[in-house]
Amino acid sequence: MKPTHNSFCHYKFPSGSPWSRGSPRPSVSASSPLRASQVVKPGAGPPERVDPAAGRGFRRTDGTRAGAPSLAMDPECALLLPGLCAVLADPGQPVADDTCLEKLLDWFQTVTETGSSLRLLQDNPCLVELLSHVLGTQDAPAGLLSFALRLAGIFGAQESGFQYLQGELLSGLFGDAGPLGQAAWTVPSVRSGWVQGLRSLAQHPSALHFLADHGVLDTVFSLQRDPSLFVASAASQLLAHVLALSMQGAAGSPPAPQDGAWPTCARRIVGHVEESLCSTAAPQVTQALNVLTSTLGRCHGHWTKALWAQLSPLVARLLEREPVPAAHSLVDLLLSVARSPVFSSADSGPWDMAARTLSRLGPLQAGPLALGLLKLQHCPQTLRTQAFGVLLQPLACVLKASAQAPEAAGLLDGAPGSSVPVDSLLSSKSACVGLLCQTLALLEELQPLPQRPSPWPQEALLGAAVTMLRLCGGGAAPASSLGGRLCRTLAGCVRVQRAALDFLGTLSQGAGPQESVTQVFAALLECLESPDSSPTVLKKAFQATLRWLPGPPQPPSCCALSPHTLLFLQELLPVLQKRLCSPCWEVRDSALEFLTQLSRCWAEQADFRRALLASEVPRLARQLLQDPESYVRASAVTAVGQLSGWGLQPASTSPQHPGAQQGLLGELLHILTTDSEGFPRRAVTQVLTEWLRAGHADVAQDTEQFVATVLQVVSRDLDWEVRAQGLELARVFLVQTLGQPGAGCPYAVGLPVASSPSALPAALHALGRVRLLDFALCALLDCDRPVAQKACDLLLSLRAELARRGGLQEAGGSPDPAAVEAALRGWRTGEQGQPLGELAPAAMLAVLDAMDLEGFRGRLAESSDRVERSPQSLLQDMLAAAGVRENQADCY
Amino acid sequence: MKLYCLSGHPTLPCNVLKFKSTTIMLDCGLDMTSTLNFLPLPLVQSPRLSNLPCWSLKDGNAFLDKELKECSGHVFVDSVPEFCLPETELIDLSTVDVILISNYHCMMALPYITEHTGFTGTVYATEPTVQIGRLLMEELVNFIERVPKAQSASLWKNKDIQRLLPSPLKDAVEVSTWRRCYTMQEVNSALSKIQLVGYSQKIELFGAVQVTPLSSGYALGSSNWIIQSHYEKVSYVSGSSLLTTHPQPMDQTSLKNSDVLVLTGLTQIPTANPDGMVGEFCSNLALTVRNGGNVLVPCYPSGVIYDLLECLYQYIDSAGLSSVPFYFISPVANSSLEFSQIFAEWLCHNKQSKVYLPEPPFPHAELIQTNKLKHYPSIHGDFSNDFRQPCVVFTGHPSLRFGDVVHFMELWGKSSLNTVIFTEPDFSYLEALAPYQPLAMKCIYCPIDTRLNFIQVSKLLKEVQPLHVVCPEQYTQPPPAQSHRMDLMIDCQPPAMSYRRAEVLALPFKRRYEKIEIMPELADSLVPMEIKPGISLATVSAVLHTKDNKHVLQPPPRPAQPTSGKKRKRVTEDVPDCKALKPLLSGSIPVEQFVQTLEKHGFSDIKVEDTAKGHIVLLQEAETLIQIEEDSTHIICDNDEMLRVRLRDLVLKFLQKF
C-alpha cells in the first residue's frame, strides 16, 4: 500500500488575523506601507522568568516541578469546576464519556506537576467534595469510581496533598472499606483505577507508611493474577515501583533483604517474589520475573546487587525445571541484569547464568537473549561466541540439510552447541517458519552493529539465505532426509521468502566472493522470474536486487559495467518487461518503482543505456501512463519522467493516447488536467518540477509558457499536495529567474546566475507573465495549512531577495498607488479566482511590502485546534454534554 | 471388496469397484496422449507436412515408408490419430452395473465402453457434465472426420517391428489397444444411456448400496461420489478443486468418515500455482500483441477458457489491448459459451447471484456484445472475412494434432513475433510441438490446472480422515523430474495404497456387519435377560427373509396343526422344522472353586495344568480330562457316560442358563 496522505488538513483561518473578514483592517497607503513589526499572540501571558532548574525535572520540596510552562488553573476553569464536579457527582446525569475523563485526568496531572496540589484542593473545595461523595455512594458507577481513585492518586502524589486528603478519604478509597469490598470491584476498570491511583500516590515516605498500614500490598499481590492483563501488569509495575521507593528511603545498602534491615514494604515484596519464584505455576513465576525485571532495569542502587544475590539462586533453580518456565520473562530479566551498570563485567554470576540459560532454552526462546548479549559491549568473549552460535544454529542446520556433501556446510564449524534441538524443531512447519524468520530478523539487526562478532561469516550467511530462497522456491535439491523435510516444509512459504530477501539485502553491505555474488544474483533472478512469486515477495526481491547492484561508477561513464553485472542486467530486463505487463497492479507498481531507482543509479552508464533502450521497458513504462490503477499511473509518471530526463525515452509512441501527439510533456499535462486521482497528479507536478530544475529540453523551449501553464492548472487542483508541489515549482522558477537567494554571500560556491541587478525589472516582468504572484497570493489563503505556509515562505523569500537587490529603486521607481490598492483590495475580499492582473514590478514590490507576511507565518504556525484543546474547552464540552450550559466554544 | 484399475493415467481414471454384489465403474477417461505419436491433420493442404521424408529402418528396409514420416529427428505415424483405451480384458465389462462419471473430461471413453463391451447398465452424471461432455465428443469427432485420411497405419504396431522403431514410438505402451475415434452415432447412443443426477441426490443400487454425487469444485457439474452401504463408506474423489473459480465449491464435509477414499485427478502441474500462471499468460499475451504479433492459445472448448476470458476481460483495458480482437474457433464454440451462461445452479455463489439481477454470470457475454470476442465454428466461412491481425486465437485441439489449431501453427509458426501459449496441462508441450519444428514462433508454457495440489490434499485428508487412501502409484512418490521434492507426493497415515494399470487391488477392509431388520411382532416377543450390567441377551428364533439385498427377520411359522388333506400337508412341508432349543449358557468357571467342588464330590488326585487358552483339570484316577477354555469346556473320558454326565452337571452349576 502506498502511504495515504491526508488531503483534508483543514486550516482554520486565525480569527485574530488583522485581515480576516469582518475585522477592521489597517489602511494601506502608497506613501506609508504599513507593516506590523511585532505580532502579539492572543492569550499569551507575561514574559516568563527562566528557572535554572527548568527541564531537568527537579522536584521541589512541595513536589512541584520548576520551570515548566505555566499551566496552572486559570480563573475561567476554576469557575467551571464546581459545576463540573456537581455533574459528575449527580447520579441522574450521564457520566461523561471515558475520553473526557481521561483528558480531565491528564489536565489535573499537568496542573499538579506545575503547582501545589494542596493549594489546588484548598482553592477548589468541590474536588474534595466530589471524592467524598464518590466514597459515600454505595453504588457509584464504575467509570466514576475509577476516575475518583486515579484523581485521588494524582492529588496525593505531593506530600502536602496527601496530608490534606489523608484520613478517611484516602483510606476509604484505597483501604479495605473502599471499593475492594464492593460489587464494583468486579469491574476491571475499577481495579485498574485502584492500582493506578496507588501508583500515582506512591511518591513519598508517607505514602509508603499508608501502604504498609492499610494492608494494600496483599491486594496488589493478588492483583498480579488478575484476569485483566492490564490490571495484572500494572500491579507488577506498582510492586517494582514501591520496592524501589522504599529502598530509596533506606539510607545505606544493607547486606540482604532478609537481615531485617530492609524496610517492611521491601521485605514483604521480596518475600512475595521469592515465594512466587518457587511456585510450580508458570504464571506466578512470570509475574515474579516481571517485577524483578522492572526493578533491576530501572533501579541501579547498590541494593539491587544485594537483591540479585539473594534471588539469583532461585532464578537459577528455574533452569533446572523441564521445561524451563516463563522463558520469555527469564530472557528479559537476564538481559536487564546484564545491562545494569550495577554489575561489572567482572561479576561472573550474571554471565554464567546467561550462558546456562542459552544452553537450556530452545532456539526460539534463546534467540532474543543471544542477540541481547551480543549487543552488550562488555559481554565476555566466550559468552559472545556461544550466543552467536545459538543465532547461527538454525541457519547452520539449513545449510547442513541442503548440502550435497556434509563438509560443505561451512557455518558453525567447530562452534559449541548441538544442532539436535534445531533438527527436531524443523520438523514442525509453524515452528520451523517461526524460528527461521526470527533468526533472520535477529541477524539482520546484528549485521550493521559495530559490536557484531568478528570475523563475520558473510559467505556462509549468503549461502544460507540463498539456500532458503531455493528451498522456498522448490529449486533446492537436498540429499539428506532432513533436507527433504525442510524442502517439504518451506516449499512456497512466503514468510520465509520475504525474511530471506530482507536478510539478503542487508548482507549486501558486506563484500562476498564473486562466486557467492553470482549465486545471489541467480537466486534473485529466480524469485523475480517465478510466476509463483507473490507481489510482496517480488517487491522484496526488487529491493534486494537494488541493494546488490553495484553503485554508479565514479566518475560516471568512465568505465564499463563488470561483465557479471552486465550479464545480470541483460537477464533482468526481460523479467522487468514481463512484470510491467502483469495483471496484478502491485507487481506493475513495484516494477516501475524498481525501474525508477535503477535508472536513477545508472542512467549515465553507457552499457546500461544501450541495454535499456534496446529493450521494450521504456515503451511499456510509457504505456502504463494509461493504467487503470492510479498508483501505477503515478509510478509510471515518475519512472517515465525520470527516463525522459536522462534521454532514455523512445521517440515513437502510440498515437492513440491523448496528448501523445504533443510528446511526453503534453501527455503529462493531460494527466495533470484530467486525472481523477491525486497520486498521478502529484507525481506529474514532481516530475515537472524536476524537469524545470534540470532544464529538460521540452521545458527549456519555452520555460515561461511551461511555468504559466502548470501554475494555472495546479492552482485549480483539489489536492493540496499538488498545490504545494506547484509552489515548489514556482520556487524553482523564482530561483532560476532571480538567482539563488542570498547569492551575495561571499562564501557561496556556485555558477554565476544570469540575472544581475540591472536585470531585475526584466525578471520581475517574467514573474508577472507567468502569474507567479497571483498563484502565491491565492495559495496564501489556501484552506490547507501546509500550502499556505509554503506560499508564505515563498513570498517572504521573494521579498527578502528583492530587498537585497535594492528594492523599489531597482524595480524602476515608485509604483502606481491605485494599482497596488486595487490589487490588495481584490485579494483581501477573497476573490481567489480573480487574478491580480499584470502588475508593474514596482507595484508587485509594494504589494509584498504592504503585507504582514511574518504575522501570517506566525499564525500559520499555530495549530488550528489550539482553542479546542484548551482545558477550558474540555470543561465546557463536558458541561454541555450534560446539558448544564450552552457551549459556545464549539459551535463553529 | 476389490478395485480393478483399467487406466494408468492418474487424471483420466477408469476403475471398477466391486462392492456388496454390485460392480461400479468409476469414470472412463480416454488417454489421448497417444495421438502425439501421429502427424497433425491439416485442415488446409500443407506442403510442408506432405513433403516430410519417409522413415526407413536402419537396414534400409522401406516397408514402413507409407506409415512413418520424419520431422526434425522425430518419427511420426502418418495415419488417423488413435486413442489409448482403458483395459477391456481385466474384467468382463458386460457385468458392470453402473458407471459413475465425475466430470466431462473423464467420460471421453464412454462410447467405447457402452457400445462395444456388452454393457447393459446405467450411466450416472450431472447435466452440465453430459452437455459439455457431448460438446467435447462432438468437437473431437468433427475434428477427425472433417479431415478424412485414407490411410490407416497398422504395420508399425507389430511388436517385432515396434521394437526396431526409435523412441518414443518404441516405448509406446498398449499399442494394440489403440483405437480410432468413435462416430457421432456411437456418441449419441452412449449418451442415451446416461441418467441425470443432482448434487447430494441419493441413488439406490439394487438395495445394496447408495451412491451420491457431491460437488467437487473443479468444473461445471463436476462431482465426487460417495458409495455407501449401512456400515461401509467409500469415497471417490476425482478432479476436485478448492480454488474459487466458476464452479460450485467443493463439498468436503460429506467425505468425512470414509473407510476408503479413492483419490484421483490431482493437479498435473503441482509446482505451478494457477494464479501465477494466469499472470504469466496475460503478461506474455500483452507483450506479444504490443509487438505486433499474434497469440495462439490451444485449448478445450470449455473449462479453463471461461476463467481465462474473465481474466482477460479485466485485463485488456489496463494493458491497452481493447482494440485487439479475440477469436474463439471451435465447432462447439457457440454452444459452449451459451451453455456456460445457463447452468446457474452449478456455478459458484457469486455467479449464481448475478443471475438474479439479472446479468449473465460470465463476462464473456459482454465481450461478445462489444465485439471484442468473436466465435466461429471453423476457420472456413465468416472467420476469413473478419480476420484481423494482430489477434488472439483460442482454438483446439491442445494436442496440436487435429482441429483448427493445426492451421494456425502452420500459418504463424514461421514468425518470431507470434506466440503460442499452452494453458492446458494434459499434453507435453514439447511433444506437441515436435512435428512443427523448426519453429520460429515463441512458445510459452503456462499450464493452468486448478485441481488439488499436494498441500491441499494433505489438508483435505486431515480434515476428512479416511481410514485408508487408495491412489494411482504416481502420487506415492515425487515426480521423476523432481525426485527431491518430497512435498510433491501424498503423505498420510497409514500410507496410501497405490495402483497401476491392469492391477486388481483388494481394498484393505473387511465387511463385518450386515443390517437386518426385525419385524415388530418378532421384536415384541423377545425377552432380553441382563447378563452383565448394561448387556442384555435374548435368543431369537426366526426366518431370515432376503430380497433385493434387504434382510428381514420374520416370526417363525406356528407349529403345524395335525391336519388331514393333502393341500395343507404340503404347506407344512415347506415350513422349516423348529426344534426345541437347548438353553444357552454363559459365565466362566473359576478353576479353584471347580476343583474344590470336584473334591467335595469325591474326586481325588486332581491335577491342574495351565495352558495357553485356559486350564486342564486332570482326574488321574478316572483317567479323565476336563479342558476349560474361554468359550468351551470339553470333558474327555473313556466310554464312561455316567461319569461324563456327573462332571457335566458339576460344570453347569457354575454357568447361567437362559
CATH of the domain at B606: 3.30.310
Distance CA B120, CA B100 (A): 14
Minimal-distance CA residue of chain B relative to A473: B271
Contacts of B271 in chain A (CB under 8 A): 474, 532
Q: Cβ–Cβ of A477/B484 closer than 8 Å? A: yes
Residue A61 predicted with pLDDT over 60: no
Same-domain status, B284 and B227 = no
Complex ipTM value: 0.72
Minimal-distance CA residue of chain B relative to A657: B320
Mutate to test the interface with A, among B277, B280, B291, B315 (most CBs of A within 10 A): B280
Same-domain status, B220 and B310 = no
Residue A152 predicted with pLDDT over 90: yes
Residue B525 predicted with pLDDT over 70: yes
Residue B436 predicted with pLDDT over 70: yes
Judge whether B524 lies within some domain.
Answer: no
Residue A19 predicted with pLDDT over 70: no
Q: Give the mean model confidence (pLDDT) for residues B363-370.
A: 93
Same-domain status, B337 and B361 = yes
Distance CA A443, CA B628 (A): 74
Mutate to test the interface with B, among A528, A532, A623 (most CBs of B within 10 A): A532
Q: Give the mean model confidence (pLDDT) for residues B11-28.
A: 95
Instruction: Please tell me which of the candidates A488, A577, A587 has its beta carbon nearest to residue B487.
Output: A488
Q: Cβ–Cβ of B273/A484 closer than 8 Å? A: no
Q: Cβ–Cβ of B272/A476 closer than 8 Å? A: no
* Termini Cα distance of chain A: 35
Same-domain status, B230 and B123 = yes
Minimal-distance CA residue of chain B relative to A627: B318
CA B349 to chain A, closest CA, distance in angstroms equals 24
Return the pLDDT at A745.
47
Q: Give the mean model confidence (pLDDT) for residues A458-468.
A: 91
- Give residue A411's identity as a one-letter amino acid code: L
Return the pLDDT at B64.
79
Distance CA A473, CA A532 (A): 8
Same-domain status, B240 and B368 = no
Contacts of residue B495, Cβ cutoff 8 Å, sequence gap at least 6: B476
Same-domain status, B84 and B225 = yes
Residue A661 predicted with pLDDT over 70: no
Q: Give the mean model confidence (pLDDT) for residues B86-114.
A: 95
Q: What is the pLDDT of residues B549-606, one digit of tens each?
A: 889 999 988 766 665 555 554 544 455 555 666 777 888 888 888 988 988 888 888 8
Judge whether B473 lies within some domain.
Answer: yes
List phi, psi (to 5°) of B343: -90, 55
Angle between helices A817-828 and A841-850 (to 10 degrees): 50
Judge whether B607 lies within some domain.
Answer: yes
Judge whether B430 lies within some domain.
Answer: yes
Contacts of A627 in chain B (CB under 8 A): 318
Percent of chain A with pLDDT over 90: 33
Judge whether B514 lies within some domain.
Answer: no
| Last residue in a domain, options B483, B506, B529 | B506
| Last residue in a domain, options B402, B419, B445 | B445
CA A600 to chain B, closest CA, distance in angstroms equals 25
Return the pLDDT at A408.
45
Return the pLDDT at A618.
92
Mutate to test the interface with B, among A433, A488, A633, A667 (most CBs of B within 10 A): A488
Contacts of A530 in chain B (CB under 8 A): 276
Question: CATH code at B65?
Answer: 3.60.15.10
Counting one residue from chain A and one from chain B, the pairs whose CB atoms sit within 8 A come to 79
Q: What is the pLDDT of residues A491-528, one digit of tens each?
A: 889 999 999 999 999 998 887 788 888 899 999 999 99
- Quote the mean pLDDT of chain A: 79
Among A538, A580, A640, which Cα is nearest to B286's?
Answer: A580
- Quote the mean pLDDT of chain B: 90
Instruction: Please tell me which of the candidates A477, A484, A531 has its beta carbon nearest to residue B276.
Output: A531
Residue B365 predicted with pLDDT over 70: yes
Residues of A contacting chain B (CB within 8 angstroms): 474, 476-479, 483-485, 487-488, 491-492, 530-533, 577-579, 581-585, 587, 616, 619-620, 623, 626-629, 654, 656
Residue B264 burial (10 A CB sphere; 0-12, 13-18, 19+)? buried
Q: Cβ–Cβ of A484/B311 closer than 8 Å? A: no
Q: Cβ–Cβ of B482/A474 closer than 8 Å? A: yes
Same-domain status, B481 and B375 = no
Q: Give the mean model confidence (pLDDT) for residues A443-463.
A: 90
Question: CATH code at B435?
Answer: 3.40.50.10890
CA B408 to chain A, closest CA, distance in angstroms equals 25
Q: Cβ–Cβ of B484/A577 closer than 8 Å? A: no
- Write out the DSSP string of B589-637: --HHHHHHHHHHTT--SEEEEE-SSEEEEEETTTTEEEEEESS-EEEE-
Residue B52 predicted with pLDDT over 60: yes
Contacts of B291 in chain A (CB under 8 A): 616
Return the pLDDT at A867.
63
Residue A65 predicted with pLDDT over 60: no
Q: What is the pLDDT of residues B143-188, one digit of tens each?
A: 999 988 877 888 888 888 888 888 888 888 888 889 999 999 999 9
Q: Cβ–Cβ of A578/B283 closer than 8 Å? A: yes
Instruction: Please tell me which of the candidates B279, B323, B455 has its beta carbon nearest to residue A583.
Output: B279
CA B441 to chain A, closest CA, distance in angstroms equals 17
Residue A283 predicted with pLDDT over 80: yes
Q: B437 near B72, Cβ under 8 Å? A: yes
Judge whether B518 lies within some domain.
Answer: no
Same-domain status, B470 and B616 = no
Return the pLDDT at A891.
41
Instruction: Please tell me which of the candidates B276, B291, B484 has its beta carbon nearest to residue A532.
Output: B276
CA B76 to chain A, closest CA, distance in angstroms equals 34
Hey, what's the cell of A283? 504464571
Among B82, B91, B80, B86, which Cα is nearest to B107's?
Answer: B86
Contacts of A532 in chain B (CB under 8 A): 271-273, 276
Residue A394 predicted with pLDDT over 80: yes
Same-domain status, B211 and B302 = no
List phi, psi (to 5°) of B321: -110, 15
Helical (H) or strand (E) element with A749: none
Q: Cβ–Cβ of A532/B282 closer than 8 Å? A: no
Residues of B contacting chain A (CB within 8 angstroms): 271-273, 276-280, 282-284, 286-287, 290-291, 311, 314-315, 317-320, 323, 446, 455, 482, 484-487, 491
Distance CA A512, CA B432 (A): 45
Q: B106 near B240, Cβ under 8 Å? A: no
Same-domain status, B377 and B469 = no
Q: Cβ–Cβ of B283/A579 closer than 8 Å? A: yes
Instruction: Please tell me which of the candidates B271, B280, B485 has its beta carbon nearest to residue A487.
Output: B485
Number of structural domains (chain B) is: 3
| Last residue in a domain, options B407, B426, B445 | B445
Q: Cβ–Cβ of A578/B284 closer than 8 Å? A: yes
CA A657 to chain B, closest CA, distance in angstroms equals 10
Same-domain status, B278 and B234 = no
Contacts of B282 in chain A (CB under 8 A): 581-583
Judge whether B530 lies within some domain.
Answer: no
Per-residue pLDDT band for B1 (boundaries 50, 70, 90) equals: confident
Instruction: Give the side-chain half-sphere CA count within 13 A for B226.
Output: 25
Q: B33 near B81, Cβ under 8 Å? A: no
**What strand order describes the sheet that includes B468-472?**
B203-205, B209-215, B223-228, B233-238, B260-264, B468-472, B497-499
CB atoms within 10 A of CB B76: 22
Q: Cβ–Cβ of B283/A583 closer than 8 Å? A: yes
Q: Cβ–Cβ of B273/A532 closer than 8 Å? A: yes
Contacts of B284 in chain A (CB under 8 A): 578, 581
Distance CA A267, CA B354 (A): 74
List phi, psi (to 5°) of A771: 60, 40
Q: What is the pLDDT of residues B399-415, one digit of tens each?
A: 999 999 999 999 999 99
Per-residue pLDDT band for A191 (boundaries 50, 70, 90) equals: very high
Which single residue is written with the C-alpha cell 522470474?
Answer: A529
Q: Cβ–Cβ of B276/A483 closer than 8 Å? A: no
Its domain, for residue B37, covers: 2-270+451-506
Judge whether B434 lies within some domain.
Answer: yes
Q: What is the pTM of this model?
A: 0.77
Contacts of B267 in chain A (CB under 8 A): none
Same-domain status, B44 and B182 = yes
Greatest mean pLDDT range, A417-426, A773-782, B449-458: B449-458
Q: What is the pLDDT of residues B225-258, one digit of tens each?
A: 999 999 999 999 999 999 988 999 999 999 999 9
Mutate to test the interface with A, among B486, B488, B490, B491 (most CBs of A within 10 A): B486
Instruction: Please tell me which of the candidates B273, B279, B484 has its beta carbon nearest to residue A584.
Output: B279
